[in-house]
Amino acid sequence: MSWTSILADIIGATILFAVPLLLVALGGMFSERSGVINIALEGIMIVGALCSCLTLVGLDKAGFGTTHPQLGMFIAILVAAASGAVFSLLLAFASINLRADQTIGGTALNMLAPAFAIVLTWAVQGQGQTTILIPTWTRITQENFGIEKADTFFQNLIFKSFYLTTIVAVILFICAYVLMYKTRFGLRLRSCGEHPQAADSVGINVFKMRYAGVIISGCLGGIGGLAFTVAAGSGFQSSVAGYGFLALAVMIFGNWKPFTILGASLFFALFKIIGSYSDSIPFLPSFKNVNSSEYIYLMLPYVVTMIVLILTSKHSRAPKAEGIPYDKGTR
Amino acid sequence: MSDYVIEMLNITKRFPGIVANDNITLQLKKGEVHALLGENGAGKSTLMSVLFGLYQPEEGCIKKNGEVVKINDPNDANALHIGMVHQHFKLVECFSVLDNIILGVEPNKMGFLQKKEARAKVLELSEKYGLKVDPDALIEDISVGMQQRVEILKMLYRENEILIFDEPTAVLTPQEIDELMEIMRGFKAEGKSILFITHKLNEIMAVADRCTVLRKGKYMGTVNVADTTKEELSKMMVGRNVNFKVDKCDCKPGETVFKAEHVTVPSKLHKKNAVNDVSFEVRAGEIVCLAGIEGNGQTEFVQGITGLTKMSSGRIELLGKDITNATIREKSIMGISHIPEDRHKHGLVLDYSLEQNMVLQQYWEPQFQHNGFIKQQAVREYAEKLIDQFDVRSGQGPITTARSMSGGNQQKAIIAREISKDPKLLIAVQPTRGLDVGAIEYIHKQLVKERDEGKAVLLVSLELDEVMNVSDRILVMYEGEIVGEFDPKTVTVQELGLYMAGAKRQDGHDSKKEEA
Amino acid sequence: MKNYFKSKGFITVLASVISIVVGLLIGFILLIVFNPAYAVGGLGSIVSKGFSSSDKFAKVLYQAAPLIMTGLSVGFAFKTGLFNIGATGQYTVGAFMALVFGIQFQMPWWVCLLAAMIGGAIWGFIPGICKALFNVNEVITSIMFNWLGLFMVNLLLNNMPVMLADHWGASNKDRTAALASANPSAIIPKLGLNELFHSNYMNISIFIAIIIAVVIYIILEKRTFGYELKACGFNKDASIYAGINAKRNIVLSMVISGALAGIGGGIYYLSGTAQYTIVKSLLTMGFNGIPVALLGASSPIGIIFAALFISYIQVGGEALQPEYAKEIIDIIIAVIIYLSAFSLLVKNILGKFIKTDTSNVNAEDKAPTPPEPAPVKTTEAAPTEEKGGNE
């Protein structure tokens, strides 16, 4: 392989894995800036992935997928968003209405989601069938654009692993930024995460805004789950391999702001990808004498996050009222 | 049409265990300044929360211009043109002034913010009423006085006709208070109606037309300010004659107990120093008061010398011994007691029982533990002794959870604990904040008693009455520096105000700085 | 006075029982939904399997021992106001250390257990020090340390041929050697209990766990150290004001918490019946410490019973297969945690019912200040300081 095709592969794969991180971290941002700590992102991703993958399989069986591949994928994305949103309602209900501890509620959901996914996958696919395979038509190929397949840099970059989720992520990123900073809704949402009493005193319904924040995080988290599953490539196995937690780290690393979150997700994805390409990149150590050296690269993003968190802890600006249940009586 | 723009008739609001508002009537005429007077805990805030729709009363009704209205939330209040400057400002600190003003009534097209027109309106209002603000500044970067102007602009932006000011003067210098009174008179002249919540009689006499008095949740009556006196009002408020003067003999200062030299403490909020090169002494048998407007470094100074935050430079001494680098516990052992500013944050572990709180700094002493095991019986006896001695009231005595006690009794518990440690230096930061007159009198007496027993007392207070009545010597702090030293017997409140606002500064305190 | 405490404890227990009942109910509904024919039998096996034979009961005890340890780990941190979601990482590292000392260094079981304790302690120490010195939220750090611990252990095991089963005559390479063939002296003694229960699962680990729980109880409730830790947990600022070294206590609390989870990993994998399998997913035994701690209201004694219960329904859950996936039990457990997240609310509601006849002392002497709104802080579970890392 030439170095250009390796470079194209690396960039393409980085984007592929950055997409779920970006979506989920943006989701976390909406929830946390409304004042609800969303540690349940992992669970939300799993539920989104579960439901959308089942949808894809269903569409495939019905023959709809092969005839309308991208429409089918779009439906799956909608299902992922909707199921993530519904699941996130459990977090919203516990933490907003019942004023429960948000971290513990989220932990419960993180336990619930994979268990539920396994149980449901069993029920749908039969005993011991724990993997839901993703139909191959979901990928966007040169054919979709009527382009001749060629081994050029750009084709390698774009078409090697191109899914509708990537396009959706770009659109959602722009929407998220505009929504957060240019609209009435965004201003109100942020005020609820910073000073809910102030928001309440000017007639903003803190409960509603926090519900909105959590539901948006559910939508984005659900889509992120699907995006992760297509990126991982091996089908859905009732797990998103800790990406929900990694997205949480991306969000903190990104200081709860869209553009820095974008940067952080690319950075994290790059580290993940470098690991798999370490043999082909000359300047990287390949750990020839070490068995299963992939673990070293799996550990890297976490180590880097730790260091970054320690270095930036002084400048970190979490929403002030995050994690504190809002009680009208507290003034 | 009715004479009154707003009437709150026979309002009763109950909470589990208490009646916060018991059949209270308040009638506000158009174009008047109406004072609502009452002690802390008299039910003023509850009444205002009812008016704002934060609480629903069990009985009674609210009328606007003679018609019954239902106020379910602040939006309803806003729709009726009622606005309020809250005692604790309702401002989002990391938002700009403009964002805070428009929050909740944002001008928008299809949900997209249109800040341009909002900015023009804010600038126009700020010009018209002389409320100078920078619309793009962040709230966290501007002074408390300016934050209050933002709150007032919030009401004006919403074109409110009924303006409520909840204890607005607590954060202002005497001169700023005068300005605020002037602004209120201006609103009144425009036909706006003002409800002015306070417990300060001077301000009522200065600006209010009528005054409604509450006591312990009950309605005591409404009087024309012109026909009454301060004494009468205070009697209505407290239920007895109050002697605002604290009885005390002249102070006989002894040896120097505490000495601060060039103390500097960095700020947590901004890059400048919160306390800058502060030096003074406190001697045995005197009460030295650090006066000043909130946020001028008093809090940071006390946190610096007690060890809650780190001083960046300077040196402190207790009875001639350098304690600059001593830990909090070492300072406590050497004889510093500290009644903290925030009793819930620092003073008490609210989920601990009263007895556990009583030994908060001493649980490790041989008196209370043996080989690392806590002597429960000894703790119990000690707590019972203090409860008895200081008359701390609680539901279940020593085993009461601190959280379930009233504010006054929580403060009494802290004072009992701190005084019983038999300190050399007693530091009391706003020890009477939020308490009723009875508790305030009690605490003042305790402070004077400690002084008379030869202890050194350092009092930090924002209340000028307290500063003037209790202290033997006054140090005024402004922007982290001491700008003047006064004898309460000879100085006037107005004079202090000029120093507190930074308008004046004594030479001695300037030159000292140059030496350093 | 005594009556009051009794009722408070009673309410806590009642709240836990309600969580359990609702959890089981939801589990039952799932059984009906997925396979109605077996639903009743399935529920039956969940609630009765653990007592069906002495072997099953031995298995309940065998799994309960590490659960008690991870439950204590999470509960102990809760008492200091920290949420140690990293128990599973500490458990993994503890297990690894125990096995290394057992297989690689051929040490006796108690040395292995000490090594497990140290391993877990180190894995708790790092999030603790990050929290204390840099104010980095311990939840985030511990989550990352879970993965780091898992990956590191897997990496090391793959590079320590002696540790793996195939070195000791077995055919598999994906797991550690069975202690029976590698080093029988590293197996926790059975003291004849296996004969008594007719079960290979039985050993003294449950007693070790219970003794440690009692020691933790004494530390928390009777010792000045416990007084300090709890003061930090309830109100860090006040504890600093009182001269308590809060930073040191945060670190110590995480170290002890990690050590407890590490011992948990040790006693499970030193039983002689378990082998560590190299997979890329976190061990649930560590995560299950969270429901155990919540169900036991963070009280060491409560945790013993909670762990027995969770272990009991897990043994029942295994009997559900093949009609259902055994993960239905995880759903039940998740529901129980979900409910205990708002246990305070449940307690308040129950408290109102019960208070009418036992005591209303709280309301009596309250001065006429407007009431403070119901304290939001959940005493045993909520690290209200949690949004660390952002001053």
User: With bands split at pLDDT 50, 70 and 90, how would you rate the model's confidence at A142?
Assistant: confident
* Disruptive mutation site among A37, A46, A119, A290 for chain C (greatest number of C CBs within 10 Å): A119
Residue window 234-253, chain A: list those with CB within 8 Å of chain C: 239, 241-242, 245, 248-249, 252
A chain contacts of residue C164, beta-carbon cutoff 8 Å? none
| Model pLDDT for residues B223-237, shown as the tens digit of each residue | 999 999 888 888 888
Facing residue for A245 by CB, picked from C134, C143, C152: C143
The CATH number that domain A3-138+152-312 falls under is 1.10.3470
- Quick check: B86 and A188 CB within 8 A? no
The span from the CA of B361 to the CA of B337, in Å, is 10
Q: How many CA atoms lie within 13 A of B199 on its CB side?
A: 21
What's the CA gap between A261 and A254, in Å, rounded? 4
Domain annotation for chain B: domains and CATH numbers: 4-238 (3.40.50.300), 243-335+425-516 (3.40.50.300), 347-422 (no CATH)
Q: Nearest CA to CA, how far is A194 from chain B (Å)?
A: 6
**Mean pLDDT across chain C, nearest whole number?**
83
C-chain residues near A255 (CB < 8 A): none
Closest partner residue to C242 (CB to CB) among B345, B361, B395 is B361
User: What's the pLDDT band for B272 if we cut at 50, 70, 90?
Assistant: confident
Is A101 a residue whose pLDDT tops 50?
yes
Q: What's the burial of C305, exposed, middle or buried (CB within 10 Å: 0-12/13-18/19+)? A: middle
pLDDT of residue A186: 96
Domain-wise residue ranges, chain C: 53-319
Whether residue A182 lies within 8 A of chain B, CB to CB, comes out as: yes
C-beta neighbour count of B490 within 10 angstroms = 7
Measured between CA atoms, the residue of chain A closest to residue B45 is: A331
ipTM, 2 dp: 0.87
* A3-23 confidence digits (pLDDT tens): 787 888 889 889 999 999 999
CA–CA gap between residue B416 and residue C185 (Å, rounded): 60
| Residue of chain C with shortest Cα separation from A92 | C338
Q: Which residue, C304, C333, C329, is CA-closest to C315?
A: C329
Q: What is the pLDDT of residue B512?
A: 43
Which residues from C are below 8 Å from B352, CB to CB? 230-231, 234
pLDDT of C285 strictly over 70 = yes
What number is the average pLDDT over the span B493-513?
A: 73
| A contacts of C287 (beta carbons < 8 Å) | 111
The CATH label, of 3.50.70, 1.10.3470, 1.25.40, 1.10.10, for the domain at C53-319 is 1.10.3470
Q: Report whether B122 contacts B98 (CB < 8 A).
A: yes
Q: Is the pLDDT confidence value at C357 over 50?
A: no
Nearest CA in chain A to B82: A202
* Residue A59 pLDDT class (50, 70, 90 cuts): very high
The per-residue pLDDT for C344 is 62
- C195 pLDDT exceeds 90? no
Does pLDDT of C387 surpass 60?
no
Q: Are strands B425-429 and B456-461 parallel, antiparallel or unpaired?
A: parallel
Tell the burial category of B127 from Cβ atoms under 10 Å away from its Cβ (0-12, 13-18, 19+): exposed
Domain range list for chain A: 3-138+152-312
Specify the pLDDT at position A294.
76
- Among partner residues B352, B374, B406, which is closest to C367 by beta-carbon distance? B406
Residue contact A306–C30, C-beta within 8 A: no
B340: closest chain C residue by CA: C241
* Interface contact B111-A183, CB threshold 8 A: yes
pLDDT confidence of B302, banded at 50, 70, 90? very high
Instruction: Say yes or no for a CB contact (<8 Å) between A191 and B94.
Output: no
Select the residue from C137, C173, C324 to test the A interface by mutation, using most A Cβ atoms within 10 A.
C137
Give the pLDDT mean for A297-301: 80
User: A293 or C49: which carries more pLDDT confidence?
Assistant: C49
Question: Per the CB < 8 Å rule, is C325 touching A292?
Answer: no
Task: Tell me the pLDDT band of C1, cut-offs 50, 70 and 90.
Answer: very low
Q: What confidence category does residue A278 fall into, taking pLDDT thresholds of 50, 70 and 90? A: low
> What value does the mean pLDDT of chain A take?
88
Q: Which residue has the tokens 């300010």?
A: B225
Distance from CA of A282 to the nearest CA of B (A): 46
pLDDT of amino acid B243: 66
CB contact under 8 A, B373 and C366: no
Burial A5-27 (b: 16+ CB within 10 A, else e): beebbbbbbbbbbbbbbbbbbbb
Q: Is the pLDDT of residue C364 over 60?
A: no
Structure confidence at residue A295 (pLDDT): 83
Chains contacting A with at least 3 CB pairs below 8 Å? B, C
Task: List the single residue in A39, A103, A119 with the smallest CB-CB distance to C331.
Answer: A119
pLDDT at C385: 34
Chains that touch C (3 or more CB pairs under 8 A): A, B
Q: Which of the four pLDDT bands, split at 50, 70 and 90, describes residue B132?
A: confident
Q: Would you call C159 and A245 a contact, using CB atoms and an 8 Å cutoff?
A: no
B434: confidence class by pLDDT, cuts 50, 70, 90: confident
Are C241 and B347 an interchain contact pair (Cβ–Cβ within 8 Å)? yes
* Identity of residue B110: M
Task: State the nearest Cα–Cα gap between C336 and chain B, in angstroms.
Answer: 25
Mean pLDDT of chain B: 88
**For the segment A305-326, what is each residue's pLDDT rounded down to a tens digit?**
888 888 877 777 788 888 888 8
The answer, yes or no, to whether residue A65 has pLDDT greater than 80, is: yes
B374 to C371: CB separation less than 8 angstroms, yes or no:
no
3-state DSSP assignment of residue B10: strand
CB contact (8 A) between residue B17 and residue C371: yes
What distance in Å separates residue A180's CA from the closest CA in chain B?
11
Touching chains, B (3+ CB pairs < 8 A): A, C
Contacts of B363 in chain C (CB under 8 A): 224, 227-228
pLDDT at A144: 77
Interface residue of A202, A206, A207 to substitute, partner B, most B CBs within 10 Å: A202
**Model confidence band, residue A84 (pLDDT cutoffs 50, 70, 90):** very high
Residue at B512: amino acid letter: K
Asked if residue C377 has pLDDT above 80, the reply is no
Question: A-contacting residues of B 97-136, CB under 8 Å?
Answer: 99-100, 102-106, 108, 111-113
The per-residue pLDDT for B331 is 93
Which residue in chain B is spatially nearest to C230 when comparing CA positions? B352
Chain C residues near residue B393 by CB distance under 8 angstroms = 365, 367
pLDDT of res. C383: 36
Of A125-139, B105-119, C126-140, C209-223, the least confident: A125-139
Of the candidates A83, A60, A207, A206, which has an alpha carbon nearest to the alpha carbon of residue A134?
A60
Outline where chain A has alpha helix (H). Answer: 3-33, 41-62, 64-67, 69-92, 102-125, 142-145, 153-159, 164-182, 184-194, 196-201, 206-232, 243-253, 258-276, 294-312
Whole-number pLDDT of residue C51: 85
Token pair, residue B194, equals 């003002």
pLDDT tens digits, one per residue of B304-342: 999 988 899 999 999 999 999 999 999 999 999 999 988
Higher pLDDT, B428 or B493: B428
Do the Cβ atoms of C368 and B217 come within 8 Å? Answer: yes
Distances (CA, A) of C306 to B504, C6, C52, C322: 68, 19, 20, 27
